[in-house]
Chain A
Amino acid sequence: MRRLLLRRLATLPLVLVGVAVVLFIVSQVLPTDTVRLVAGDNASPELRREIAHNLGLDRPVWVQFWHYAGRLLHGNLGVSIRFQLPVGDLLRQALPASLWLVGAATVIAIVIAFPIGILSARYRGTWIDVLSRAIVVIGTSTPAFFLGVIAILVFGYYLSWFPVSGRGSPPDLAHLVMPAAVLGFREAASTTRILRARMIDELNEDHAKASRARGIPRRSILIQSGFRNALLPAITDLGVSLTELAGSLVLVESVFGWPGIGNLLYIGVQWNDFPLVSGAVLMLVLYAVAINLLVDLLYGVADPRMRA
């Protein structure tokens, strides 16, 4: 376990450098002429050169990258064009909203995926199995934003159960329900499938049959032979969905106008605000990397073999 963790920690800087490189390359590809943006259209060549020098744009690319990476390390993400505020501050303000949303969605995902995954493996071919298959198909194939639109239409307008947009002031739970449910539902889909499939496999294994022959109650077999063994793949899958969540988060936050990181990214795209877009992307990628690490840790807790 310690070795695995060390290896993961060792690749972490590599991933971070990789992310910085990608962000830097993309910002270099940007077809905007930064000097003209600062100096205006009619600047003299001397002035242009001076500005380019002050901004460090006349230096070799790798020097520019070095400075760029240095700025990132100091948490300096630039200034948003739309808001005229430091991107770092904007992200910090938006972070709690996103964390609430992700947390609530994960709880909902676990509450959906585990019981339905287990029950559909136990009662194959019954209505609960059909339900689980419906969740899987709808959850994996329906785009997050369209699921959100349908939720707004049905539960927001027709039934008027929940408010359709924003977080409420002060933030309340009613506003959280729909975005968290949509996000959680999508997260639950693949985990439900994995859990069901693995449990069915495990319950057909010899050790499960042996337990049955010894007269151990079915419920114990289901949990001991089935669930315990299917838990690891399910956790791994939940981790993958949690990483993927960073993408759906952007869509769901935009649909519901939820004032989090994803919504900032959406605003940044609308306004061609590259500093804001890249800052939000960086933040969400850091989240994904952190989740990956966390899943590895959980893996160690759930599987004693990994602790050796």
Chain B
Amino acid sequence: MSELDLDLREAAVPQERRGLAGREITGSLRRFLRSVPGVVAACVIVCIGLAAIIGPWFAQDPNFANVTQSFASPSAAHLLGTDDLGRDLLARVLIGARVALIVSLAATAIGMTIAMVFGVIAGYFGGILDELLSRAFDVIVTFPMILLAVLIVVALGPSITAVSIAIGIVVVPRYGRQFRVLTKSCVQREYVQAVIAQGYSPLRVIVRHVLPNILLPVAVIAAGNMGRLAVAEASLSYLGAGVRPPNASWGNMIADGQEYLQTAPGIALYPGIALCVLAISFSFVGDALRDAFDLSE
């Protein structure tokens, strides 16, 4: 049987297999664009993202301490004033935005990848493998999210990488279950059964016929979830199991500022407000996306 022969036979499989049809996706996007809170929140996130990328170039060195300038009120030199060590608050809030976004992106990527591997394996092969992986997901889910992440960060030693890995691992069962369920229902469809019946290897069936159909729904849910991951990063950094001083993260800035709450509330309030705005925006976007793509978690 020649290679060409194989390809022809595969081409005979109904067209439905090419993932969500393009029209369906544009339709969902159009529905998303009609949701006012969703679009406004998306714009806010884009603005925060741009500020995080570009801002630190124009702002001052976020770790430059100048004790003679400590607790300065907002001025032309320091738009948001300075903290207890005379560091520019605006620069630190901007760097904090970068940390929050990097960690939530990296953790989403890590979590989605691991979840995809295990979830698809469980859903595709079923049987005892499915049973084992599902139980493992159940056990990890019993761990409250922050606790497991703290444990992992303490074990790895606090750093941005450790925080991303920790949060990534924590979300694995959440997305893994999604992948598993979607794979299960996808495999039962006729076009996948047809490809399997033709004797293609599981890897090929999964990569070319299953994944394109299930990636988007999970990715949409993961995108809406990113705010929670940013909050998790801040929580870890607040506890000291995240980004460690002198490097700035919204979490450790709030921890730092709590001491001076009475005299200089801005030190804790600015990063906290930024974090809330980001988290609330993501939750609005997440809701709008879920509605637009007609998904439920």
Contact = CB atoms under 8 A, between A and B. Distances in A.
B139 A18 contact: yes
Given A19-B142, A247-B146, A250-B147, A144 B235 contact: yes
A144 B254 CA distance: 12
Contacts of A29: 155-156
A22 B143 contact: yes
A27 B151 CA distance: 9
A244 B268 contact: no
A40 interface: no
A130 B290 CA distance: 22
Contacts of A142: 276, 279-280
Contacts of B143: 19, 22, 285, 288
B286 to A, nearest CB: 10
Contacts of A270: 240
A46 to B, nearest CB: 30
A277 B150 contact: yes
Task: State the main secondary structure of chain A at its contact with B.
Answer: helix
Contact of A243 (B135, B144, B157, B254): B144
B195 interface: no
A26 B148 CA distance: 10
Nearest to B143: A285
Contacts of A14: 135, 139
Q: Which of A27, A247, A251, A265 has the most CB of B within 10 A?
A: A247
B239 A281 contact: no
A266 B240 contact: yes
A15 interface: yes
Interface stretch (A59-67, A149-157, A300-308): A149-157
Chain A to chain B: the 5 pairs with minimum beta-carbon distance, closest first: A18-B139, A247-B146, A247-B144, A146-B272, A246-B144
Interface of B: 135-136, 138-140, 142-148, 150-152, 154-157, 227, 231, 234-235, 238-241, 251, 254, 257-258, 261-262, 265, 268-269, 272, 275-276, 279-280, 283
Interface of A: 11, 14-15, 18-19, 22-23, 26-27, 29-31, 137, 140-146, 149-150, 152-153, 157, 243-248, 250-251, 254-255, 265-266, 268-270, 272, 274, 277-278, 281, 284-285, 288-289, 292
